[in-house]
Every structure is written in C-alpha cells, then in structure tokens.
Amino acid sequence: MKIIKNMFDSRRKHFVKGGKLERLYPIFEATETFFFFPAHGTQTGPHVRDNLDLKRFMSFVILALMPPFLFGIYNTGYQCHLASALSTDFISVFLRGIYIVLPLVIVSYGVGFFWEFVFAVVRKHPISEGFLVTGLLFPLTLPPTLPLWQAAVGISFGVVIGKEIFGGTGRNILNPALTGRAFIFFAYPVRMSGEVWTVISGKAVDTFSGATPLALAGLTAASDTVETFLAKSGLTFSKLFLGNYPGTVAGTSSLLCLIGAVILITVGIASCRIIIGGVLGMLVTGFALNLLATQASMPYLSLNPFYHLVMGGFAFGITYMATDPVSAPGMDTAKWIYGFAIGALTVLVRVFNPAYPEGVMLAILFMNIFAPLLDHFEIRLRLKRRIVNVG
C-alpha cells in the first residue's frame, strides 16, 4: 500500500495547478480516491462528518447488482450451450457466459468512462461515482447478442445526451443507462425488439432463435390464454420467476432482483416506496384489465397480473432503474405515485402496444420526465402548511 501511496504522491505534482498535466487532474483524483480514502478535513462546522460518501453509496448498488449479474452470466452461457447442444455443466457454461457478457461490460465501462473523462477534463469537475453504476446497469439490460459497437453507441448516447449535456451527475432528467438502452431500442430494433434472441457465439453455433416471454405473450392466439401459451413453450411461472430462459443479460430472474431489492432497501439506498409502489401499480392495473377482459378481447387482457411481475425486465427495472435517486422524485408521496405509475404504465404498454414488448423501459423514462412535476406538486402542498417566516 505504501508503494502505491508513494506512487501517487510522487506523481501528484504533475497534475496539480501549474503542473504539465494540470488539465487531467480529474483523472488523477478519481484514480487516487479509488485506492485511498481521501484525508481531507472539514473546513467549517459541523466539524465531524458522516462516514457515508458517494463512493460507498454507489458501491452498494453494485453489490446489490451482483446476484442478477452473476446469474445473468450463467444464464447467458446456459442458454447458448442449450441452443448449441453443448455440455451444460456449470463451469463450461459459466465460462461461456463470461465470454459473452464480459466484452459488453468492458465496452460499456470503457466507452462510458472515456466520455466521463472528456467531460470532466473540459468542464473541470471531478468524475462522479454515479457512472460506476450506469456502466454496469447498461449492459445488463441488453440482449447478450448485441454487437459490441451498438453497445458502444448506446452507452455514448446514454452518457452524453442522457447525462452530460444537462451538466453531469445529479442534473440529468432521465436515467442515463435507460436512455442509452432506449436509443439502441429505437435505432436498431432488429436486435432489440425482444422477439428474437439471437446468439452468435463464435464457432459453436451461428444463430439461434428463441422468443422471449414478452414477445410470445403478444403472439398468443385469441383462443388461448397467455399462461397456457407460455407454458407450451416451456415458460411456467416458476421458470419465469427463477429466470433461466432467454432474455436480457440480467433482467430475466425476478428472484435475484428481489434479493437485490432487499439488499438495497435494507441498507437504505433504494426507496422502498418506489419498489412497492411499482409492484402495487402493476398488480392493480393487471387486475383492472382482467375485469375488462371478455371472450373476444385480446388474451393478454386476462393474463394473471402476477405473470406481469415476473415477465420481462420489470423486476430489474423497478429495483435498479426506477430507484435512481437523481431521476426519481425526492418527495415521499411523489415516490409512491411515481412507482405506482411505472407499474401501471408497464402493463398498459405491454398489453396495448405489443410493438414495444418491453414496457418497463418506456414507463420509467416517461415517469422520469414527470418526476419533477410530482415533486413540484407535493412541495407546493407541503409549503402551504408552513407558517410564513420572512423575518
């Protein structure tokens, strides 16, 4: 540790004011604070400060992302080997998963950090830890088969247009990871439509087509129910809940997202109001649509609402995307409404607009835009209760 510390200390002079690499100070600072907790003292009262900082805050989100991430690696390899009729023993499947998923993650972090560095240097602000989360969230919401260059374009759009042009972390309106995903969803619909999950896994197998549950649900014939139609394709409720079916990298397993949600709520990083509100919104809307369903209507209308919870990326979205504090509302009641609306909109998009099978992404982005408005109304109501104090 001493060696690393000395290394930083001896190179610091180049990066501080007057040094020849002065402009690259944010990069130096970000690297140094990764290794060492800075020893800055407080300048004004309060003279002591809480131990939590943004790095720790974001590390916990990453920690909570680990269960779906690791499962996602396994599942990707498993689905690939299954399709190529290769051995499905754990080690080889996991290695295959790493082989497919890791390049996506590396591209996402690499390209994303490049933009972060560029903006930090030009705009002279420190590099925020927020990107550690964005950079991991983004690849986890992609189909594993997405070409890497598309992932690079997507994360660039997410970071630059979704975040940096608003002024960087803390000032963005939309969730940057979802903005990037939405971009490739609309720009390259063939790869992202959710209808075909294509594996191009080197020499093992050329292509593999397998419909995701959401796409299947939209294809259900009028005479059938969605549940039985899914079951015919081998997608029972428990399988959907556990997540070992083709889908996005980490969005398939509701169980592991639930574990992530429990971690985040326990340590107090994610708002339980948003998550519970989202689940409620989804169930209530699902039941309401059940009431509307008749013999002649779309079979999707009569789908058991609990299926909505486990299908597609809802669990992942509501746990990790909707709870992003920057793009979510800050007030308590607004959080309930925000979560509820995300759940409700997800169902509505799924049921009434099968062209966009993944409703949760659009629902969250839509509610991101409304978050400041929800906050505004709640703050107005709250301020009315105050006794005016103008001195």
Q: Are 194 and 212 in contact, with CB atoms under 8 Å apart?
A: yes
186 binds another protein (CB under 8 A): no
Number of residues that bind another protein (CB under 8 A): 58
Smallest distance, Å, CB 111 to another protein? 22
Smallest distance, Å, CB 273 to another protein? 11
Smallest distance, Å, CB 128 to another protein? 6
Nearer to another protein, 110 or 167 (CB): 167
Q: Between helices 254-266 and 272-292, what is the axis angle to 10°?
A: 140
Smallest distance, Å, CB 264 to another protein? 11
The residue length of the chain stands at 391
Q: Are 181 and 138 in contact, with CB atoms under 8 Å apart?
A: yes
Structure tokens at 131: 């990107």
Under rule CB under 8 A, which residues in 118-177 are in contact with another protein? 125-126, 128-130, 168-171
Give the closest residue to 332 by CA, choosing from 274, 251, 255, 249.
Answer: 274
Under rule CB under 8 A, which residues in 362-381 are in contact with another protein? 375, 379
Nearer to another protein, 23 or 171 (CB): 171
Under rule CB under 8 A, which residues in 259-278 are in contact with another protein? 266-269
Q: Which of 7, 21, 23, 37 binds another protein (CB under 8 A)?
A: 37
Under rule CB under 8 A, which residues in 314-333 are in contact with another protein? 325-326, 328, 330-331
Smallest distance, Å, CB 48 to another protein? 4
Structure tokens at 274: 């948003």
Give 374-380's long-range contacts (Cβ < 8 A, gap of 24+): 374/329, 374/331, 374/334, 374/337, 374/338, 375/329, 375/330, 375/331, 375/334, 377/334, 378/329, 378/331, 378/332, 378/333, 378/334, 379/331
Smallest distance, Å, CB 3 to another protein? 11
Q: Are 118 and 90 in contact, with CB atoms under 8 Å apart?
A: no
Contact stretch for another protein (CB under 8 A) within 40-48, 105-113, 182-190, 285-293:
40-48
Contact stretch for another protein (CB under 8 A) within 36-44, 74-82, 221-229, 305-313:
36-44
Nearer to another protein, 52 or 102 (CB): 52
Cα-to-chain-centroid distance, residue 237: 23
The Cα–Cα gap between 355 and 194 comes to: 10
Give the closest residue to 328 by CA, choosing from 380, 274, 376.
Answer: 274
42 binds another protein (CB under 8 A): yes
Contacts with another protein, residue ranges (CB under 8 A): 1, 4-5, 29, 33, 35-57, 59-60, 125-126, 128-130, 168-171, 266-269, 325-326, 328, 330-331, 375, 379, 382-383, 386-391
